[in-house]
């Protein structure tokens, strides 16, 4: 009978399910998740720092350009000073030279500030990169531990997997597909008995008349609340 086979399948599958849970709740898995999250966070922060560093570098480049322009103007004015015709013209040149000198001084100050900030960002990038490296090393170690645990689980699960594989050949694929869908949502047991009070044996919610009708007709129905497959013997 289909249901009997399906229940046998579930019994073996339940053992595999338990092992999967053990593995998922293992320290190795938790640690791996922790380091993965930390590494991701550090990488995000590095991307952010990188873009800030680029912005600063662009700003320094723009300041340098301005500075060079001021320098060129200064050189030009200095060479023109030889041809000053009168006092009025001399005053104009003096004023212009003073302005350029002040502008250059301000630019030098801005460049130093921008450079300092760039240095700070670069320093932070270096220390974040060291963190990332440390996370990677630890993650690789934990991954090895996890692989070992998984190997052990696979060996323990092998006989149950064989039972499941064999039984799958004998069960209706439509029923299996419904089973797999619930199983994928990590609900176990998938198949639950119809209770004496008329409810789902998984979440205990009372089934509607329409569900009860389906149950009476095919011996199986889906609980609208928890999605499990309710059967009646
Ligand atoms: Zn239910």
Give the per-residue SS3 of the chain: CHHHHHHHHHHHHHHHHHHHHHHHCCHHHHHHHHHHHHHHHHHHHHHHHHHHHHHHHHHHHHHHHHHHHHHHHHHHHHHHHHHCCCHHHHHHHHHHHHHHHHHHHHHHHHHHHHHHHHHHHHHHHHHHHHHHHHHHHHHHHHHHHHHHHHHHHHHHHHHHHHHHHHHHCCCCHHHHHHHHHHHHCCCCCCEEEECCCCEECCCCCECCHHHHHHHHHHCEEECCCCCCEEECC
- Examine the fold and report which residue of 121, 144, 168 is the final residue of a domain before the chain moves on: 168
Which residues fall inside 5 Å of ion ligand 1, going by CB?
200, 202-203, 223, 225-226, 228
**Domain contains 60:** yes
CA of 152 to the centre of ligand 1 (A): 34
pLDDT of residue 1: 60
Q: How far apart are CA 190 and CA 182, in angstroms?
A: 6
| Interval between CA 213 and ligand 1 midpoint (Å) | 16
Does the pTM surpass 0.95? The reply is: no
Number of domains in the chain: 2
Q: Mark whether 94 and 12 lie in a shared domain.
A: yes
- The owner of tokens 């991701």 is 40
Q: Do 32 and 122 fall into the same domain?
A: yes
Q: What is the Å distance from ligand 1's center to 202 Cα?
A: 5
- List the domain range (segments joined by +) for residue 23: 8-168
- Which residue, of 168, 194, 214, is where some domain finishes? 168
* 121 shares its domain with 164: yes
68 in the same domain as 13: yes
Q: Do 139 and 189 sit in the same domain of this protein?
A: no
- The pLDDT assigned to 85 comes to 78
What's the 232 CA to ligand 1 centre distance in angstroms? 14
Same domain for 202 and 218?
yes
227 CA to centre of ligand 1 in angstroms: 6
Do 121 and 13 lie in a common domain? yes
Regarding whether 225 and 192 lie in a shared domain, the answer is yes
- 1 assigned to some structural domain: no
Residues 164 and 199 in one domain: no
pLDDT for 233 = 80
- In order along its 233 residues, the chain shows pLDDT tens digits of 689 999 999 999 999 999 999 999 999 999 999 999 999 999 999 999 999 999 999 999 999 999 999 999 988 888 877 777 788 888 888 898 899 999 999 999 999 999 999 999 999 999 999 999 999 999 999 999 999 999 999 999 999 999 999 999 999 999 999 999 999 999 999 999 999 999 999 999 999 999 999 999 989 999 999 999 999 98
pLDDT of residue 117: 93
In-domain check, residue 80: yes
**Within this chain, do residues 154 and 181 fall inside the same structural domain, yes or no?**
no
């Amino acid at each position: 009978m289909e249901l009997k086979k399906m229940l046998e399948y579930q019994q073996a599958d339940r053992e595999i399910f338990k092992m999967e849970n053990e593995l998922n709740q293992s320290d190795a898995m938790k640690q791996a998740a922790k380091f993965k999250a930390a590494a991701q966070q550090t990488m995000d922060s590095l991307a952010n720092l990188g873009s800030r560093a680029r912005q600063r570098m662009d700003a320094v480049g723009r300041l340098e350009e301005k500075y060079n322009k001021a320098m060129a103007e200064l050189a030009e004015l200095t060479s023109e000073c030889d041809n000053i015709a009168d006092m009025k013209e001399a005053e104009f040149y003096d004023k212009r030279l003073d302005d350029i000198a002040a502008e250059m001084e301000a630019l030098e100050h801005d460049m130093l500030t921008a450079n300092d900030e760039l240095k700070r960002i670069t320093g932070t990038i270096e220390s974040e990169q060291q963190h990332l490296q440390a996370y990677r090393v630890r993650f690789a170690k934990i991954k090895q531990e996890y692989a070992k645990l998984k190997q052990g689980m696979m060996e323990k699960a092998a006989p149950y997997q064989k039972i499941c594989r064999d039984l799958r050949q004998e069960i209706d694929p439509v029923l299996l597909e419904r089973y797999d869908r619930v199983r994928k949502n990590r609900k176990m047991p998938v198949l639950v008995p119809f209770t004496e009070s008329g409810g789902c044996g998984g979440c205990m919610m009372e089934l509607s008349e329409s569900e009860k009708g389906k149950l009476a007709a095919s011996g199986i129905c889906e609980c609208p609340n928890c999605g499990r497959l309710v059967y009646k013997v």
